[in-house]
Every structure is written in C-alpha cells, then in structure tokens.
Chains A and B, each alone.
Chain A
Amino acid sequence: MILLDRVSKVYGKDSEDAAISRVSLHVEPKEFVIVVGQSGAGKSTLFKLLTREEKPTSGKIIVGGIDYENLKDKDIPNLRRKIGVVFQDFKLLPNKTVFENVAFALEIVGVSNREIKHTVPKVLSIVGLKSKESRYPRELSGGERQRVAIARAIVRQPKILIADEPTGNLDPKHAWDVIRVLERINKFGTTVLLTTHNQDIVNKLRRRVITISDGKIVSDKANASYEV
C-alpha cells in the first residue's frame, strides 16, 4: 500500500514554486496505476519522494507500512530493497553482463552465490531474456535493456515496482514489450506505479490513471484514458 497525505516538495525557498503541492494519494496493494503529466509536472519528484531520494517539505508518506517521517539515514537502504525501481535511462552497469546486472541487486543484499545462480535465470525468463544472459548492455536493443532493468527491479520480489518513464526511450514495439512484462509482474501480485507520456499505452491499458499538472493531482480515474 502507498499512502501520500498532503505531500509538498519545495526546492529553494519560494513556496509558490513547489514541484509537488499538497498531493494526496492512495494506492492499494496489487494495483496497476499510471501517472501521466507533462514534463516538469512533478511526476519524477513524486517518484523521488517514494524512493526517498528526496525528502518532502511537508506531508506524510507511508509505503508498505513504513512511515517515512521516522526513517533514519541507515534505514533507507532497507526501504529501497522493498521497492523495485525502473528508470527511463535503464541505469545498467555497462561493464557487467545481463546476468551480472540482475545478480548485482541480490549481491548487495548479501544473497549467496548459489541462490543467485538459481534465481536470476528464472527472472530473466520472465522478461524473456534467458538466452541473452551473457550479453553486455551495449549489445542489446533499448527494449531489451529496459527488460534487464525490470528483471533487476523484480529479482528481489518487491511488493511495489516503480517505473519512471520506462518506455520513454523506446520505439512502440519495444515499448509494448516492456509494458507487457509490467502487466505480467502485476498479475503475480506486485503493485505497479508507472509514469508515461505514451498516449497509446495509456488508452489501451484501461487502468487507473492519475493526472498531474503543475505539481497537483488534477484527475484520478479508474479505467481511464489519456487526457492531459
């Protein structure tokens, strides 16, 4: 469950210039939610608040039962381990293979090599990249890279997956490959929070759509289509 209660984020001192202003939001477990909005509307800030890259100026955030207000510096790694994150620019490590990139997420939490060898191929087959596990990111297409990033995000079986413009750099075919993977993960029971600019994707998915404009939620509808 994700809960935001009147959350604001102001950079600098001018409160008129808030990146996010009094945003309240409630996402149930296993939901698939699409966040739309133009560039600079505040989507990325919203996600950075959820991954605790940023601290809210005011308001309350609770994710998976963790109240961010009481979160200490040393608890942040633990929080991030519970949330899977996918970025528009993939953020893969170029000098590691597909397998190693996914394994990396497990290595940093101390999972044994045996468990890694067992888990990673399974996750790579979910995203359809089992045959490319020894390739390097530069040898893959954009869509494939993004699916590696998704595999890395879900390999620790997070309850929540945040995908920030995962299709932003992809052509329509590859974009749909990525979206299908996300739908599949959602079907397994993971809450998915997706931001996108892609009208076609939003309209065809028919999911809950939250529209953000100027740092405020302007609409929040189930089975909705793209309207910015």
Chain B
Amino acid sequence: MGKQTRGRRSTTLGRIFKTGFVNFFRNISLSVAATAVMVVTLTIVLFFVIANATFNHSIEEINNKIVVSVYLKDNVSPDKKDALINKLQGLDNVKSVKYVSKSDALIQYRADNKDNLELLQAVSQTDNPLPATIQVKPKDPTRNEEIKAILETPDIKALQSDETSYSGDRKEAIDKISNATSFFKKAVLVSVIVFTVISMLIIFNTIQMAIFNRRDELRIMRLLGASTWFIRGPFIVETMFYGIVSAILSIIICNSLFLIQDQAFNSSSLGLLDLTYANQYFIDHFYIFLGMQFLLGIFIGAVSALIATKRFLRFSQKKSHVLWRRRQQTL
C-alpha cells in the first residue's frame, strides 16, 4: 500500500467517524430513543450477570454450612476412629472430614454459650458430656445417600453414641432455593433476549428514518462516487456511539442503585439476593463489566446498523433501476 493511499484511507476513516458523530446529534430525538432502549437492555443484562453470580454464591454458602455430624461413643479406640475417618475421606461426595475431640467440643461449646450461664454450668458440673465428633462436609449436600449408607452399616452404627445429624436434611429447602433461582434466571434471560430484539428493531427503524431523511444527500454521494463504506460507515459509527453511551449509562445506573440501596435501605439482602455480595461483586469486576457493556452495546448497534443499511441502501446494480423508480415516486 502506498503512503498516499494509506493517508487517504485514514483521512476517509476520520471523516466517516466525524460524520457518524455529527449525525448522532443531527437526529437527536431518534438517537435518544434508540439509546434509551439500549440502556434498558444493557442494564438488564448487567443485572442478570450480577444476580446470577450472587445466587450462585448464596447457594454455595448454604451448601458450605451443611455438615454431617457423626457422634462417637467415648470408648471408641483411636484406630477405629481413624479407620472410619479414612473410609469417609475416600468417598466421592466428601469434600472434607474434620475430627473434633471431646475437649475441642467442650471448648467450642463454651465459646458458643459464653453468655448463657445455665448452659455453662450444666456442662461444668459433670464430666464433659460432649461426644467426640466427625464432621463430614459433602460436596453436594443433596446427595448424601452414599455417606448415609456407610454410617448405617451395623458395625459403624455401633461406634456412634447418638443418631447422625444431617444438618443436613435440608435437601428440600435447597431444592426450593435452586428452583426459585433457576426460574428467576430463566425469566431474566428471556427479558434480555426480548429487550435485545426490541433495541435492535428500534435501531433498525432509526436507521431507516435517517436514510429516508437523508436520501437526497445519499444519492448525491453515490453519484459523486462515494464508496459503499463511505455511505454506510457513518450509520454504523452512529449506532456504535449509541452503544458506548448506553454502556456508560447502564454502569452509572447500576452503581447508583447500589449507592441508594446502601444509604436508604441499609439492608444487606433482598430475600435471596445478598446485596452486599452483589455490590462487592460489581466493584471487584467493575472494569470487566464496563468492557462487557461496551462490547455488547457496540455489537448490538453495529449489527442492527449493518442489517439496516444493507436492507435500505441498495448497492447492487441489479436492483438499481428498481430503486431508482421507487425513488422517483418518493421524491
């Protein structure tokens, strides 16, 4: 490529961007409408991503709290205890196994009930009545059958002082939460799709109007030998600009909502939605979200503009006389 050609290309590119930018303000009412709907779309997308991460986090937190406690009789020998621990550790669905000795259990009990004198006295009056415990953390608390089966075998059952506590049997509650969140996720995903389609249609319409308003100018450009991209480019730049503005606005809206929630409600969760975590997640991934919104906004804008300009600015020779006749009618 010669130096002059390169120079001309960059000059042309600069002009395409400038024209697109100027056109944004020339059709300000159309631009505002298209940008507004894109802001809604991008905000919903952002909301969806953050809510999704927050729900996953909440479910994980609940799962983490679930522990299967195996209470051992005081007379169980260390060998038998270690054998049981090893057996449990070998299971697929076991994340970790923790042994809490009688004395550890007492220390823990005292710490837990340090404000309740009666309970403290109850323990100190006798010998340490607390059993040693093996705490099993399952990977998936909804699938405890395997652990249960082992603990129910007679020789292992014999080691236990008490019924196993599946803190456990919260399968139902967890299922409910999972169902609610997955329904929520689906609903939001559907609205993401619906709003994306709506913003694309509105941008599509905006471009169609802009082409109609500028048809004389576009025809003159074409007759003077403007290249296809010199004519299409500004429309695409204009819609990419909608995307950039919308991305920034959606981030600002999201940020403001967190600020308002923080100051006005002073609440840390809305039902299942842990707002503190959501806020932190938003702050931690701020630049990723900013980039994501830019890319998405530019993508939605550019794709709609590409389709619209292809549809409404016919460049093919085959159709040119059809277009010409139509134009004679409209002009």
| In the complex, residue of chain B having the shortest beta-carbon distance to the beta carbon of A113 | B11
Chain B residues with Cβ below 8 Å from A109 are 8, 225
User: With A73-B315, A73-B317, A93-B220 given, is the CB distance from A53 to B324 under 8 Å?
Assistant: yes
Q: Does A81 contact B (CB under 8 A)?
A: yes
Q: Are A108 and B224 in contact (CB under 8 A)?
A: yes
Type the 1/0 row for A24-58, where 1 means its CB is closer than 8 Å to any CB of B.
00000000000000000000000000011111000
Chain A residues with Cβ below 8 Å from B227 are 74, 77, 108
Chain B residues with Cβ below 8 Å from A73 are 228, 315-317
Chain A residues with Cβ below 8 Å from B226 are 77, 108
Type the 1/0 row for A124-155, where 1 means its CB is closer than 8 Å to any CB of B.
00000000000000000000000000001000
Q: Are A108 and B230 in contact (CB under 8 A)?
A: yes
Within 8 A of A (CB), among B178-220: 216-217, 219-220
Number of interface residues of A (CB under 8 A): 27
Q: Are B324 and A110 in contact (CB under 8 A)?
A: no
Q: Are B324 and A105 in contact (CB under 8 A)?
A: no
| In the complex, residue of chain B having the shortest beta-carbon distance to the beta carbon of A79 | B225
| In the complex, residue of chain A having the shortest beta-carbon distance to the beta carbon of B227 | A77
Q: Are A53 and B223 in contact (CB under 8 A)?
A: yes
How long is the Cα–Cα vector from A76 to B228 in the complex, in angstroms?
10
Type the 1/0 row for A174-205, where 1 means its CB is closer than 8 Å to any CB of B.
00000000000000000000000000000000
How long is the Cα–Cα vector from A77 to B222 in the complex, in angstroms?
7
Q: Does B9 contact A (CB under 8 A)?
A: yes
Closest beta carbon of chain B to A165's beta carbon, Å:
15
Q: Are A152 and B224 in contact (CB under 8 A)?
A: yes
User: With A52-B317, A93-B217, A93-B220 given, is the CB distance from A78 to B225 under 8 Å?
Assistant: yes
Q: Are B11 and A112 in contact (CB under 8 A)?
A: yes
Closest beta carbon of chain B to A116's beta carbon, Å:
10
Number of interface residues of B (CB under 8 A): 25
Chain B residues with Cβ below 8 Å from A93 are 216-217, 220
Q: Does B326 contact A (CB under 8 A)?
A: no
User: With A74-B228, A77-B226, A77-B228 given, is the CB distance from A110 to B8 under 8 Å?
Assistant: yes
Closest beta carbon of chain A to B25's beta carbon, Å:
13
**CB contact between A111 and one of B11, B221, B228, B324 (< 8 Å): that residue:** B11
Within 8 A of B (CB), among A95-118: 104-105, 107-113
**CB contact between A76 and one of B8, B317, B321 (< 8 Å): that residue:** B317
How long is the Cα–Cα vector from A110 to B5 in the complex, in angstroms?
9
| In the complex, residue of chain A having the shortest beta-carbon distance to the beta carbon of B15 | A107
28 A-B contacts, Cβ less than 8 Å apart? A51-B223, A53-B223, A54-B320, A55-B317, A55-B320, A73-B315, A73-B316, A74-B228, A77-B225, A77-B226, A77-B227, A77-B228, A80-B222, A81-B224, A91-B220, A93-B216, A93-B217, A105-B224, A107-B15, A108-B12, A108-B224, A109-B8, A109-B225, A110-B7, A110-B12, A111-B11, A112-B11, A113-B11
List residues of A whose CB falls within 8 A of some B CB.
Answer: 11, 51-55, 73-74, 76-81, 85, 91, 93, 104-105, 107-113, 152
List residues of B whose CB falls within 8 A of some A CB.
Answer: 7-9, 11-12, 15, 216-217, 219-228, 230, 315-317, 320-321, 324
